[in-house]
Structure 1
Amino acid sequence: MLVRIVKLCLESKHIPTFLENFEQQKDSIRNFEGCQFLELYQDKYHKNVVFTYSYWDNEEALNNYRNSNLFKGIWAITKPMFADKPQAWSVDKLHSLK
């Protein structure tokens, strides 16, 4: 399993539009083949910073999503909202405690 963390720094005026678009697209992302889990976080003190946190079967599944029309459509809407360059990490989960 691959864990993907993406940090997006948005222009404050675009936050409502971003959240509305995420709401409309979240099920399509989550149901994309190979996606096991999806969450969206917002920084508590810097409301223009959001993070997506997702689990993918493997790197191939993530790349299939990143090359899909779904992602390209979402990215086309989201990219103009950025206040800073997005950052992304693909990580391996080492421990999980509940």
Structure 2
Amino acid sequence: MFVRIVKMSFHEENIPAFLENFEIIKDKIRNATGNRLLELYQDKTNKCIFFTYSYWETEEDLENYRKSELFNEVWAFTKQLFNDKPEAWSVDKIASLK
């Protein structure tokens, strides 16, 4: 399993549209084959910056999602709202303490 982190920055006036769309599509993303977790975070000091954290069983699962019609629809809508280029990282979890 690995973690995909995506940083997105939005024009302030576009934040409500992003959040509304995320609410509609979040369960579909979470139910994509191989997805084990989906979380959305908002930066505490810059409310225009958001992060998604998603856990995937395999890199192939993430790539299949990224090639899906769902991803294409989500990304086509979301990228119109950005005020900066998004950044993404695929990382392996080393430790998790509870």
| TM-score band, normalised by shorter chain | over 0.9
Corresponding letter in the other structure for 1:70: L
**TM-aligned CA deviation for residue 66 of structure 1:** 0.4
| Structure 1: gaps spanning 5 or more residues | none
Equivalence for 1:67: 67
Aligned equivalents of 2:53 and 2:30: distance in 1? Answer: 11
Equivalence for 1:48: 48
Is 2:13 aligned against 1:13? yes
| Structure 2: gaps spanning 5 or more residues | none
Encode CA deviations 1:35-59: one digit per residue, 9 max, x unaligned: 0000000001100000000000110
Alignment of 1:17-32 (within 5 A): 17-32=17-32
TM-score when scaled to structure 1? 0.99
Percent identity among equivalent residues? Answer: 61
Aligned equivalents of 1:83 and 1:38: distance in 2? Answer: 23
What is the SS of the residue equivalent to 1:52? Answer: strand
Corresponding letter in the other structure for 2:47: K
Corresponding letter in the other structure for 2:64: N
RMSD across aligned C-alpha pairs, in angstroms? 0.4
Corresponding letter in the other structure for 1:65: Y
What is the SS of the residue equivalent to 1:36? Answer: strand
Equivalence for 1:81: 81
Aligned equivalents of 2:2 and 2:65: distance in 1? Answer: 13
**TM-aligned CA deviation for residue 2 of structure 1:** 1.3
TM-score when scaled to structure 2? 0.99
Aligned equivalents of 2:69 and 2:11: distance in 1? Answer: 25
